[in-house]
Amino acid sequence: MSAARNLDRTLAALADPTRRRVVELLRERPRRAGELASAFRISAPAMSRHLRVLRTRGLVEEERVDDDARVRVYRLRREPFDALSLWLRELEAFWSDQLEAFGAHVAKRRAEAQRGTR
Amino acid sequence: MTFRSSTDCVRATTLVPADPAAAFALFTREVDLWWRRGPRFRQGLGRSSVMRFEGEEGGRLVESYTDEAGGAFEVGRIKVWKPGDRLVFEWRGHNFEPGLVTEVEVRFERAERGTRVTLEHRGWDRVPLDHASRHGAGASNAFSSMIGLWWGDLLTSLRAHAKSREGA
């Protein structure tokens, strides 16, 4: 059940407006931690906590750039988002199947009513 | 890298041959007749059951079990009940943490040859963080049950879904 567990972790990590916005920004391109902090009205330590949540749950990864060990760039990892897309597609299929069944039921009732009035 | 535009809402829509008032009545009062059966669609892991909207606003959507063990599962409270127009109810999986609910909204709009029914399922953004962290202890979790059931026959259902779209 590790796919489900990972999905729960992904959803939980995204259950915060700031972290969702961080993910939005990282969709465009990788960014430095400082750049992310300044894009929000929150302190660097607060941003760092959000990034840690995203990192420990596997949504982002960090890498050092150039020769400067102090500079870290955050980028999205593809896997958790692929798994999430797959699950959301399955949920869409679930409700599409349900609405299809509902449509068939309405059509059946209408046909019965038409037979009754003939 | 491509992503869905929205991760916190799933939408489905269909056109049914009835006016909005009749479509709303059939959707709610005859829910058990059209709601698909089996472990993929009902909560009781294969137990035979009856689905029912009890009451109107403030009422609830319930799945009652018709086997010897009996009992019932409350899927969620009815939040909006506007016949012929709009229905909103909460949606819980049977092993969600207490207090964790998602939400389903169904809109009925008059169309040229019937009613356009649009369903939105949302609320993933309410999954609390500590919820996921409790997995290690073997505690119940929000989505694993639904996912477990769906994951298993994922390919089958996706294929069937694609086929039904081809035929449509």
Q: Exposed, middle or buried by CB within 10 Å (0-12, 13-18, 19+), for B65?
A: middle
**Residues B47-90: tens digit of each pLDDT:** 899 999 999 999 999 999 999 999 999 999 999 999 999 999 99
Cross-chain CB nearest to B148 (options A1, A85, A101):
A1
pTM of the model: 0.74
ipTM given for this complex? 0.74
| Closest of A71, A69, A33, A75 to residue A50, by C-alpha | A33
- Measured distance CA(A37)–CA(B85) in Å, rounded: 44
Residues of A whose CB is below 8 A from B154: 86, 90
In B, minimum Cα distance to A75 occurs at B1
Residues of B whose CB is below 8 A from A5: 132, 135, 141, 144
Tell me whether residues B15 and A89 touch, CB distance under 8 A.
Answer: no
- Measured distance CA(B90)–CA(B28) in Å, rounded: 14
Q: Which two tokens stand for residue B143?
A: 């989505």
**Residues A56-86: tens digit of each pLDDT:** 999 999 988 776 767 789 999 988 888 777 7
In the block, which residue shows the tokens 């049950």? B145
Asked if B1 is an interface residue toward chain A (Cβ–Cβ < 8 A), one would say yes
